[in-house]
Amino acid sequence: MPRDYLRDYLSVDDLGPAELLHLLDVADALKADRTLQRDALAGMTVALLFEKASTRTRVSFEVGVGQLGGRPLTLSGADLQLGRGETIEDTGRVLSRYVDAIVLRTFEQERLEALAEAATVPVINSLSDFEHPCQALADLMTIRERLGTLSGKILTYVGDGNNVAHSLLLAGAKTGMTVRIAAPAGFEPIPQVVQRASEIAEETGGAIETVSDPQTAVKGAHVLYTDVWASMGQEEEADARALVFRPYQVNQALLDLADASAIVLHCLPAHRGMEITDEVIDGPRSAVWDQAEDRLHTQKALLLVLFDLA
């Protein structure tokens, strides 16, 4: 089966600025009325493959596919022959004969790319070590809900320059935001991602800034964002990383340096008392729980857009 008509979502960069805004409009409508498009995926099956643990991604995709009338098929690496040596390419070829889309949460981005190359159905990156593009969609939706617009807003991300930071750089650039990344030396985002985001920002009126001082980065920010200091697969580094990242904790003192209207985001799970304090995540400026809910609505919108149903 030819792939020329199919759409994958392996990176935020797979959607153009206008497509991103359209997807957010669709997500807003779906959130306002959960009965919309309830038969859009009738008769369709979406395979959800998890090689990493998941709470929000798994539940939001399962519920979302069901709300659109489709059937979610959730499988772990242990459920598949991947655990016994079958290649990701052969898995993609076989699953394409059974299902209508494949969602993969994995480690290396190269596995997603190999799967997408072999599969003949759309492939969605629900998290890799390189990007977390589904999370970025929800982040944009929540920011726009709370602040009214994206263009011209300043988003400061404080912490590890990881997969979440990479997707935020691209998503913010595509929507005309200023994205500041405050990370300690040695933990900055990959330079190629920063360069690509800068190129996009030049076209959209946004800006990309990387600094090491969190106090400087947060001044005037409309959004203050953080993530865990040690991602999945880095657990053995947690104690050492905690010493390096302690000055990057999102606490009330840091939040007070941001714009008076600033909101706080965290993609979760949160290590309370580490990268963020209870006072902030449970405080009046936290939008974390709306952000978690918006995973459901943006992922439904993403499926509809990829299938050209919205």
Give the residue numbers marked as catalytic. Answer: 105, 132, 135, 227, 267, 295
Which 3 state secondary structure label does DSSP give 302? helix
SS3 content of the chain, % helix, strand, coil (to 5): 45, 15, 40
**Exposure class string for 76-102: b at 16+ Cβ within 10 A, else e:** beeebebeeeeebeebbeebbeebbbb
Instruction: List, as own/partner pairs, every contact residues 193-199 make where C-beta atoms lie below 8 angstroms and the sequence separation is at least 24, other chains included.
Output: 193/166, 193/169, 194/169, 196/13, 196/170, 197/169, 197/170, 197/172, 197/173, 198/173
**Token output for 153:** 């807003």
Cβ(92)–Cβ(66) below 8 Å: no
Query: What CA–CA distance (Å, rounded) separates 230 from 84?
Result: 28
**Token output for 177:** 């935001």
**Token output for 284:** 């009046």
Q: Please name the residues in contact with 63: beta carbons below 8 A apart, sequence gap of 6 or more.
A: 296
- Beta partners for 144? none
The edge-to-edge listing of strands for the beta sheet with 101-105 is 71-76, 45-50, 101-105, 123-127
Cβ(297)–Cβ(30) below 8 Å: yes
CA 99 to chain centre: 24
